Structure 1
Amino acid sequence: MSSLDGEGELGDPPPTRPTVGTNLTDIVAQRKITIRELGGCMAPIWSSYYGNCQSLLFVVDASNPAQLSASCVQLLGLLAAEQLAGASVLILFNKIDLPCYMSIEEMKSLLRLPDIVAHATQNISTAEISAREGTGLSGVLRWLQGSGRTQP
């Protein structure tokens, strides 16, 4: 398990809002990266989108400890999916800009992340981000450009 840090200039982050349904976005940096964003309410049909998935970004709300156990269950389901066995995984602890966010150590402990990493077939990395402020997003972009295979 590795962690991403370091910042670059990406410009202003886009406005954020909770994902309802699915969004499809292309990012072009060194190469074209297609991102399919699936909201948590779409979890029952996530498996419909596993095909051709090379990298998985799993976003956890660092300001909502009540949601953490549900996030853990969803993460375990993703890691157990046969079609995602070879995908690289980046767990993003979002909303670190809020005063009530949990530390990364608290979240890793509550998720039992060391145990998950020890038993997962996937390469799992973590990063703290603020989608609203743009903190940590350059590291996520670097991770995506390497398809999770290389660590910055």
Structure 2
Amino acid sequence: MPGGERGVAMCLLLGAAGVGKTLLVKRLQKLSAHDGKGDLGDPPPTRPTVGTNLTDIVAQKKITIRELGGCMSPIWPSYYGTCRALLFVLDASDPTQLSASCAHLLGLLSSEELAEASVLVLFNKTDLPCYMTVEEMKSLMRLPDIIACAKQCISTAEISAWEGTGLAGVLRWLQDTHRASR
């Protein structure tokens, strides 16, 4: 079973293909290098993740984010064992993807290995036009009910990895989650 380094917080970054996971982790890494402040500059180029990427973010302590490609969802469970924090990304500009993302999220939340993980559900691409609001999407997927019934502590955030909006909050969440899991 894939493992994590002792003393390092392991965070899984999951979501369907094309939701912006790679750009998100690159932007978080750059933001953490600047202590959560400053201009992120132009978005770096990305390619779809095939397999897994490990990225270290130094936010008071080292946090390792393991990004798993969306097409790898059948083997996501083999990475749950070392996870204490989970970033789950949805594409807020594509509500047609909502039901599949909701099914993935429910599968994650029902896993015993993730029962004590903190979860942050990220609605990414809020900078793009969409015919539904994030509140409408949350209602459609019954997210308030999911949160009420889940074993995990679940938070949500609206972000744009492209523009960098909301990423300082994600970095704070990672720091706070790491402190709480010690």
TM-score computed with the length of structure 2 as normaliser: 0.73
Query: Which residue is 1:30 aligned to?
Result: 60
| Residue of structure 2 in register with 1:3 after alignment | none
Task: Describe the shift of the 1:94–1:18 C-alpha distance in structure 2 as closer, same or farther (beyond 3 A).
Answer: farther
Could you tell me how far apart the structure 1 residues matched to 2:131 and 2:159 are?
Answer: 11
Q: Which moved more, 1:16-25 or 1:36-45?
A: 16-25
1:38-53 equivalence runs, <5 A: 38-53=68-83
* Cα distance in 2 for residues equivalent to 1:133 and 1:15: 14
Task: Tell which deviates more after alignment, 19-28 or 86-95.
Answer: 19-28
> Does the 8 Å contact 1:26/1:32 carry over to 2?
yes
1:65 to 85, 95, 120: 95
1:52 is displaced (CA, Å) by: 1.5
Q: Structure 1 residues 144 and 14, CA, compared in 2 at 3 Å: closer, same or farther?
A: farther
Tell me the secondary structure at the aligned position of residue 152 of structure 2.
Answer: coil
Instruction: Classify the secondary structure of the residue corresponding to 2:100.
Output: helix
The equivalent of 1:96 in structure 2 is 126
The runs of at least 4 consecutive aligned structure 1 residues that moved more than 6 Å come to none
Change (3 A) 1:81 1:23: same
**Corresponding residue for residue 11 of structure 1:** 40
Q: 1:139-150 to 2 correspondence within 5 Å?
A: 139-147=169-177
- Does residue 131 (structure 1) correspond to residue 161 (structure 2)? The answer is yes
Aligned partners of 1:54 and 1:87 also within 8 Å: yes
Q: Could you say which structure has the higher helix fraction?
A: 2
Is the Cα contact below 8 Å between 1:93 and 1:104 reproduced in 2?
A: yes
Distance 2:97 2:152 in 1: 23
Q: Name the CA distance, whole Å, in 2 between partners of 1:136 and 1:47.
A: 28
Q: Distance in 1 between matches of 2:123 and 2:37?
A: 19
Question: How far apart in 1 are the matches of 2:66 and 2:111?
Answer: 17
Measured against aligned partners, the alpha-carbon deviations of 1:57-115 in whole angstroms (never above 9, x if no partner) come to 00000011111000000000000000000000000000011122632201111110011
State the Cα deviation string for residues 42-67 of structure 1 (Å, max 9, x = none).
Answer: 10000010011110000000011111
Which structure 2 segments of 5+ residues have no match?
A: 1-35
CA-based RMSD? 1.9
Shift of the 101–16 alpha-carbon distance from structure 1 to 2, 3 Å rule, reads farther
Task: State the identity as a percent.
Answer: 75
SS in 2 for 1:140: helix
**Structure 1: runs of 5 or more not aligned:** 1-6
Q: With structure 1 as the length reference, what TM-score do the two structures score? A: 0.87
